[in-house]
Amino acid sequence: MFGGSLGNNMMKGMVCLVAVALVVAGSASIAAAQAAGLKKGFYKKSCPQAEDIAQKVVWKHVAGNRELAAKFLRMFFHDCFVRGCDASVLLDSPTNTAEKDAPPNLSLAGFEVIDEVKAALERACPGVVSCADIVALAARDSVSFQYGKKLWEVETGRRDGTVSSDTQALNEIPAPSSTFDILLTNFSGKGLGLQDLVVLSGGHTIGIGNCNLFSSRLFNFTGKNNPTDTDPSLNPPYAKFLQGKCRRNLQAPNDNTTVVPMDPGSSTSFDSHYFVNLKARQGMFTSDATLLTNSRAAALVDKLQDNGVFFDHFKNSIKRMGQIGVLTGASGQIRNKCNVVNS
């Protein structure tokens, strides 16, 4: 970064920006074609009560466990980033090689609620509503519960995939250790842009993080055998707080039993507080903190600290995310059970 001349660095930056722009343009056109089969109220005639049935089941469970909102939002994100939004994350594998068996997905939860929604919909409208749409609806409805109204519209009409690979999940799901350039390339490859990257990161306003995913920022960060050496991009009091919570990881870096709220003081409330914390250098993961290393992303972080601005942007970004790689029309299938492909 500090080597080479200013001219060389500028040229490299221009080449990088052109490459990303080309990827975005190509991916956007593909995404548009794939999303053509989605629309608001897809089940209006075939199963008019579908969204009400799904909401009723999801709200019942979220009322007793507010942490489910973060889990369903994460499930939707992880599903869409691997093979598109096709419910492949729900499939079981007798050889433990499905997406849900990949390390990034081992902490996913809420599958039993998805199954309950599916069973209720099958009783009302057999063979009509896809598991892929159920995942999208569960994410929206669980997050919306605290406000008692739908925070965004969900386009429906997805069909279910028949392939699920743990290797693909490991390769495609953005890692919490990712730098900004890696994240932007990953999002661009899905037809999403810089704004979507920053806005969707705001989903970290709810949920928890495992210490093993960020403890490298807390202990011996520079590799000089100093256990109190922390990532300088962390707010020092916040770093000390995390060190206290993650003490076990000093001796056992891979220990995944300890969890910490991603948005301290607001971990079950979906709001813009994540960006307030991020601005104060209290982003838990490297993938959070790195948003401040890009001027455009950092400017967005400033704007998104306002609840109204965040909600307006989030509903648009998650709509775009929900269009990634969708199967529509005659592609895929409508699974009878969400965890198995139809025989």
Q: pLDDT tens, 281-334?
A: 999 999 999 999 999 999 999 999 999 999 999 999 999 999 999 999 999 999
Distance of alpha carbon 82 from alpha carbon 74, whole angstroms: 13
Average pLDDT on 63-85 reads 97
Distance of alpha carbon 129 from alpha carbon 89, whole angstroms: 17
* 3-state SS, residue 232: coil
Could you give the percent of the chain with pLDDT greater than 90? 82
In terms of Cα–Cα distance, which of 114, 110, 109, 111 is closest to 57? 114
Average pLDDT on 156-171 reads 98
CATH number of 39-207+262-322: 1.10.520.10
- Asked whether the beta carbons of 242 and 212 are under 8 A apart, the reply is no
Which residue numbers belong to the known binding site for substrate? 174
At residue 18, the pLDDT reads 44
- Return mean pLDDT, the chain: 91
Would you name the residues annotated as active-site residues? 78
Task: Please report which confidence band the pLDDT of residue 335 belongs to, taking 50, 70 and 90 as the band edges.
Answer: very high
Domain ranges of the chain: 39-207+262-322
* 3-state SS, residue 20: helix
Which residue numbers belong to the known binding site for heme b? 204
Task: Please report which confidence band the pLDDT of residue 265 belongs to, taking 50, 70 and 90 as the band edges.
Answer: confident
Which residue numbers belong to the known binding site? 79, 82, 84, 86, 88, 99, 174, 204-205, 263, 271
Distance of alpha carbon 218 from alpha carbon 230, whole angstroms: 5
At residue 34, the pLDDT reads 62
The runs of H, that is alpha helices, within the chain are 6-34, 50-64, 68-80, 111-124, 131-144, 166-172, 180-188, 194-201, 236-245, 248-251, 273-279, 286-289, 295-303, 307-321
At residue 190, the pLDDT reads 97
At residue 251, the pLDDT reads 82
Q: What is the pTM (predicted TM-score) of this model?
A: 0.89
Task: Please report which confidence band the pLDDT of residue 266 belongs to, taking 50, 70 and 90 as the band edges.
Answer: confident
- Asked whether the beta carbons of 137 and 54 are under 8 A apart, the reply is yes
At residue 28, the pLDDT reads 54
Which residue numbers belong to the known binding site for Ca(2+)? 79, 82, 84, 86, 88, 99, 205, 263, 271
At residue 325, the pLDDT reads 96
At residue 23, the pLDDT reads 47
